[in-house]
Structure 1
């Protein structure tokens, strides 16, 4: 198994506490309301919303994928850190990726906004290589959703 790591960083004018609440804690309710073409809905399959919770995310009509299942690995509300892993779904169905783990950190910026740091670890099957362009395309779509949430 290989691991491909991809890091991104961007800023927001929204303070970390407010951004964490909407972008992390309430995202399952918020995104289907403001972008149903991207995410149709989220269903908790197991757990209470905290670490260990398994969720199924169903994508909207505009997506090339049907659904993914992810597991919440950790939530640190005091430090605005969220960890989760993609464990099943269309994204993994090409038999190149076993799972993907994510860590998102929201840090206060000097202007009162937030610096969002994200690390994605793609755990590949055998020594399959992940192209950075493929990851960037997915991150661009996520960035568009983020801008909707920010608005």
Structure 2
């Protein structure tokens, strides 16, 4: 088994705490509402959202998930969660998105403050089966999907400035 690592960054004018709450902490409620044509449901099948929890995302049959791929479901396990610092680690542990070449994918996500917004720094570790070597073009579709989901959440938060905003939040 080999491991291939890729980094990507997304910037936004939305505060890090709001992005973290929407994109990470409440994604199981928000994503099916924002993408009902693609996501049928997201539910915790183990745990309540804390470390060790397993979340299953089910896609509508016959629909394309954002850009171009037919998937039925996937499962993520939450490996680490630090809401105070807007960071988490989770792993894609099961689902047809892994195909026959990937064992799992682990992600590290951190939202950091910038002048007038935040930057999301994401590191993805692709754990391959056997001696398969993953190239960046092999994961372009997944990176495009991540960016598409990020933009959908960003647009929703910009259109709804009081959503996921607490009194202490610099909204």
Cα distance in 1 for partners of 2:97, 2:135 equals 14
Q: What are the equivalent positions in structure 2 for 1:11-30 lying under 5 Å apart?
A: 11-30=11-30
Cα distance in 2 for partners of 1:6, 1:59 equals 25
Name the structure 1 match of 2:119.
115
Cα distance in 2 for partners of 1:46, 1:10 equals 30
Structure 2 segments unaligned to the other structure (5+ residues): 156-171
Residue 108 (structure 1) shift: 0.2
Residue 39 (structure 1) shift: 1.8
Name the structure 1 match of 2:131.
127
Residue 10 (structure 1) shift: 1.5
Cα distance in 2 for partners of 1:141, 1:89 equals 16
Q: 2:105 aligns with which of 95, 100, 103?
A: 100
Cα distance in 2 for partners of 1:36, 1:133 equals 28
Q: What are the equivalent positions in structure 2 for 1:1-151 lying under 5 Å apart?
A: 1-60=1-60, 61-63=63-65, 64-92=70-98, 94-111=99-116, 113-151=117-155
Matched residues, number: 149
Structure 1 vs Structure 2 CA RMSD: 1.1
Cα distance in 1 for partners of 2:84, 2:28 equals 20
Cα distance in 1 for partners of 2:140, 2:130 equals 22
Structure 1 segments unaligned to the other structure (5+ residues): none
TM-score, normalising length: structure 2? 0.83
TM-score, normalising length: structure 1? 0.94
Answer with 1 or 2: which has the greater Rg.
2
Runs of 4+ in 1 over 3 A off after TM superposition: none
Residue 7 (structure 1) shift: 0.5
Instruction: Say which structure is richer in strand.
Output: 1
Secondary structure class of the residue paired with 1:70: strand
